[in-house]
């Protein structure tokens, strides 16, 4: 049995991204999305989610490239004061350095993640799962407090951000070294979530292809999908004036992903390969997924 959750990240980022995600769900194959509590178009995304009850909606936790919900005194290890409101550090490199050298306060991380989840819940969103911008929860310093926040808020599932090596052929030696380090974090990921009473898919696909997804790559990913339950990480949207004001490397590629995710080709390959589409809501309700926890062999990529 092969099951696939197709999740659209960055719900709430811009109106164009919101519109693209809803179209990728109603006209295409997206089954879930993750909403940014700190997103510029959060309220709009909430309204759109209400109109799409079959779309599973989770929380896209932000700890970089945004402003925290909590004040600077409450997240001083995560944010900088700046001239106005506090702001998280930009990019994953600085965050990774602080995470790996134990300069992040786990209690602050737990409090900020809890605040973000509770903002969605207060808006009426039935939060199905958690993931994180730039996959920051691949670091143990974030993973541990995320698990605590999930349990506190009644969340039952968290993204497994590690992609099988089959889909992660990287030629650049520097990137290869980075991925080998990250792979070590994935060895006990599923086991620890199971011990905490939380669920996670067998892994993610499409992460390494982010920013370069084309039809052939999509087809190959689906044709080589292993048995089990997996998540396809996507970023559909429209490259409009709002997006031009956002710091992101994903611009024109969002429209390309939207075209792929709504294309007859995508639906045909899923049917041909007998891959069942499910949402995260389906996943947390289901008792049919594998209970055996194998040794993961994968990577994560921002």
In this prediction the pTM is 0.91
Which DSSP category does 157 fall into? B
Looking at residue 169, its pLDDT comes to 54
Looking at residue 183, its pLDDT comes to 64
Which tokens sit at 249? 């490397």
Looking at residue 85, its pLDDT comes to 86
Q: Find out whether 33 and 5 touch, Cβ atoms under 8 Å.
A: no
Looking at residue 298, its pLDDT comes to 38
Q: Find out whether 116 and 37 touch, Cβ atoms under 8 Å.
A: yes
Looking at residue 164, its pLDDT comes to 84
Q: 42-76: per-residue pLDDT in tens?
A: 999 999 999 999 999 999 999 999 999 999 999 99
Which tokens sit at 111? 């409090």
CA angle 42, 43, 45 (to 5 degrees): 65
Looking at residue 184, its pLDDT comes to 67
Which residues does the chain have with pLDDT short of 70? 168-184, 287-302
**Nearest CA-CA partner of 79 in 112, 102, 114:** 112
Looking at residue 115, its pLDDT comes to 98
Looking at residue 238, its pLDDT comes to 98
- Domains within the chain, CATH numbers bracketed: 2-299 (3.20.20.370)
Pairing of strands 87-88, 79-80: antiparallel
Give the span between the Cα atoms of 135 and 158, in whole angstroms: 11
Looking at residue 84, its pLDDT comes to 77
């Amino acid at each position: 049995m092969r099951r696939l959750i197709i999740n659209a990240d960055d719900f709430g980022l811009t109106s164009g991204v919101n519109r693209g995600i809803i179209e990728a769900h109603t006209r295409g194959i997206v089954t879930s999305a993750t909403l940014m509590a700190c997103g510029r178009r959060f309220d709009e995304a909430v309204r759109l989610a209400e109109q799409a009850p079959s779309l599973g909606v989770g929380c896209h936790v932000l700890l970089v490239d945004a402003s925290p919900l909590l004040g600077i005194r409450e997240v001083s290890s995560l944010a900088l004061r700046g001239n106005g409101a506090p702001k998280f550090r930009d990019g994953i490199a600085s965050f990774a350095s602080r995470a790996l050298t134990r300069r992040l306060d786990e209690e602050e991380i737990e409090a900020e993640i809890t605040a973000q989840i509770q903002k969605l819940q207060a808006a009426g969103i039935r939060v199905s799962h958690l993931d994180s911008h730039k996959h920051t929860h691949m670091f143990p310093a974030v993973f541990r407090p995320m698990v605590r926040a999930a349990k506190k808020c009644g969340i039952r599932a968290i993204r497994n951000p590690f992609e099988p090596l089959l889909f992660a052929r990287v030629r650049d030696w520097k990137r290869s070294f980075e991925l080998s380090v990250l792979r070590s974090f994935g060895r006990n990921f599923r086991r620890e979530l199971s011990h905490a009473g939380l669920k996670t898919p067998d892994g993610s696909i499409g992460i390494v292809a982010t920013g370069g997804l084309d039809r052939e790559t999509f087809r190959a990913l689906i044709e080589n999908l292993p048995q089990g339950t997996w998540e396809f990480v996507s970023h559909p949207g429209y490259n409009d004036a709002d997006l031009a004001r956002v710091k992101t490397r994903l611009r024109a590629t969002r429209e390309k992903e939207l075209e792929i995710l709504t294309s007859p080709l995508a639906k045909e390959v899923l049917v041909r390969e007998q891959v069942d589409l499910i949402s995260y809501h389906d996943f947390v309700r289901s008792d049919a997924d594998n209970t055996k926890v194998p040794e993961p062999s994968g990577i994560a990529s921002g």
